[in-house]
Chain A
């Protein structure tokens, strides 16, 4: 137990790195995933082709391979990257980690959104069309809001998976929660204690994420819940 108390401050610092990497990747990933999903549902092969290839690669290969490829792979092209002025970014393990995780979650999120765009009831689209909505307006007002609500449960899973997958970044020398735990376990030999503590921190954050999603889902599904009449005075209810 002493080992846990000794390393706890460092582990919490590591947990901050983990949360930070997850938050940034999820945010950028979501922003990229929306156009990616729209390209993916397009009927034009020039539009859906590249999106399909991107999603195929990032869903079809292990995240660990993607991280190695971006981190150690970019090291091999230092001269070229320096010429482009990009080496300053690729030099940092932090940047490489966020880049790999962002690309990975973009692919998965785009696929989730594609599915939910496809499952927006046809009648609603038809009704919008008959009111004269077309193209971007139709997407912005009808399809995307509905698709986001449909995607939410699956998307909350993706965020939790990504959060847990960040444990892989310790392999490229980043001191995230797992990275700190590995150093602490190796130095103190308190293997069980350290990893159980690390696991507990992951668990708490995971349930924090799920709680936030639950709240968001509750808010977005107001129109589906039974109406409660709030105007009745309390006394009436009691009687």
Chain B
């Protein structure tokens, strides 16, 4: 009987302890690792990028012990729901569609989406300017939804598993243009050797209907403590200058947005 009581006590203790996010807690973070400069895998096989640095800073600020799990983009929300990790820090835009399945923290950056194509292609972001063109986009992104919903009837949408594969087909000429996050395109493509003959065209797209309020951290529903802990951590690194330091390491402008 005494043994039963101690077992029950232990079970109860564990139940209450896991109820609230707290210091020293182990948190698994899902990320994609194919979206430079935000998250990518370097030549030594290590995860690097803005998202990764921010994630590490947030974990330090919240006192979490964090571990990264790499997951393909179109399976990243299912992976979270299947408890393969506890949070997604992978430049995921906070959108209403996604909010039906997961909770989000406040944004940790917000940059616009933009079209890009070969220099001198003369493409314009108008129904006539894009008519009949093939546009490359990463599958399951806000940009794919935006493109399909607004231009789906006049362009051919070519969807890729990773943004890097979309770049490959834009370089080879299989796609006439692409649309993606402007900062990701700038650093992951236009400023690289293979992207030097390409440029942006058209306006910045920020319509919250498709692009949401910015990139946030996705967390399973019903885990409000973890959301609160990350929100507090975001506020902390914004206030103590850690965010600005990481920002300056990657970009010469403020990616946090307004």
Contact = CB atoms under 8 A, between A and B. Distances in A.
A78 B140 contact: no
B139 A182 contact: yes
B171 A75 contact: yes
Contact of B173 (A78, A93, A191): A78
A191 B160 contact: no
Interface string A116-141: 00000000000000000000000000
B140 A173 contact: no
B173 A91 contact: yes
B172 A75 contact: yes
Interface residues of A, number: 17
Contacts of B187: none
Contacts of A78: 172-173
B139 A76 contact: no
A191 B80 CA distance: 13
Contact of B74 (A75, A91, A173, A182): A182
Interface stretch (B6-14, B118-126, B161-169, B229-237): B161-169
B168 A75 contact: yes
Given A75-B168, A173-B159, A186 B173 contact: no
A213 B144 CA distance: 41
Contact of B100 (A75, A189, A191): A189
B77 A75 contact: no
Interface string A66-95: 000000101110100000000000010100
A72 B145 contact: no
A173 B97 contact: no
Given A72-B165, A75-B169, A183 B159 contact: yes
A187 interface: yes
Given A182-B74, A183-B140, A173 B158 contact: yes
Contacts of A160: none
Contacts of B144: 183
Nearest to B174: A91
Interface in B67-118: 74, 77-78, 97-98, 100-101
A23 interface: no
B172 A186 contact: no
A91 B175 CA distance: 9
A187 B97 contact: yes
B140 A186 contact: yes
A171 interface: yes
B139 A189 contact: no
A182 to B, nearest CB: 6
A191 B159 contact: no
A186 B100 contact: no
A93 B174 contact: yes
Nearest to A192: B78
Contact of B169 (A171, A173, A182, A189): A173
Contact of A189 (B101, B158, B168, B172): B101
Contacts of A187: 97, 140, 145
Contacts of A91: 172-174
A191 B75 CA distance: 9
A174 to B, nearest CB: 9
B104 to A, nearest CB: 14
B139 A183 contact: yes
Interface string A181-212: 01101110101000000000000000000000
Nearest to A82: B173
Contacts of B173: 75, 78, 91
Contacts of A183: 139-140, 144, 159
A229 B200 CA distance: 79
A187 B144 CA distance: 10
A75 B174 contact: yes
A76 B174 contact: no
Contacts of B140: 182-183, 186-187
Nearest to B173: A78
A91 B176 CA distance: 12
25 contacts: A72-B168, A72-B172, A75-B172, A75-B173, A78-B172, A91-B173, A91-B174, A93-B158, A93-B174, A171-B161, A173-B136, A173-B158, A173-B159, A173-B160, A182-B74, A182-B140, A183-B139, A183-B140, A183-B159, A185-B74, A185-B78, A186-B139, A187-B145, A189-B97, A189-B98
The 9 closest A-B pairs by CB, nearest first: A75-B172, A186-B140, A173-B158, A189-B101, A186-B74, A191-B78, A91-B174, A78-B172, A72-B168
